[in-house]
Amino acid sequence: MVLKNIETYTADRHRLVLAVDSDDRNLLFLSKLLKQFEYDAFAVGTAKEALEIAAAICPVLIITGRQLDAGNDALGFIRSFRLVNPTCTAPFIVLTAKPDPAFERDCLSAGALTCLRSPVTVENFYRVIQVAIEPVPRMTIRISTNLPATINGMRKVECLRDLSEDGAYILTNLLHPLSTKVTVRIKLSDCVVSADAVVIYLKRPEEDRKGQSGMGLQFVRISQESQERIRLFIRSELSKGIKPSRSAR
pLDDT tens, 187-230? 998 899 999 999 999 999 888 777 899 999 999 999 999 999 99
pLDDT in tens, 1-20: 444 455 555 445 678 899 99
Q: According to the model, what pLDDT value does residue 122 have?
A: 86
From the centroid of its chain, how far is CA 42?
A: 14
Q: What is the 3-class SS of 27-61, one letter each residue?
A: HHHHHHHHHHCCCEEEEECCHHHHHHHHHHCCCCE
Report the top-level CATH class of 2-133: alpha beta
Over residues 12-51, the pLDDT tens digits come to 567 889 999 988 888 888 888 898 888 888 899 998 898 8
**Helix, strand or coil, per DSSP, at residue 136:** coil
- Domain positions in the chain are 2-133, 143-238
Higher-pLDDT residue of 174 and 239 is 174
Give the integer Cα–Cα distance in Å for 2 and 17.
Answer: 15
Domain 143-238: what homologous superfamily? Answer: predicted glycosyltransferase like domains (2.40.10.220)
Same CATH topology for 2-133 and 143-238: the answer is no
Instruction: Determine the distance from the C-alpha atom of residue 229 to the mean position of all C-alpha atoms in its chain, rounded to a whole number.
Output: 20
**Burial class of residue 159 in the structure, from the number of CB atoms within 10 Å of its CB (0-12 exposed, 13-18 middle, 19+ buried):** middle
- 8 Å CB contact between 136 and 171: no
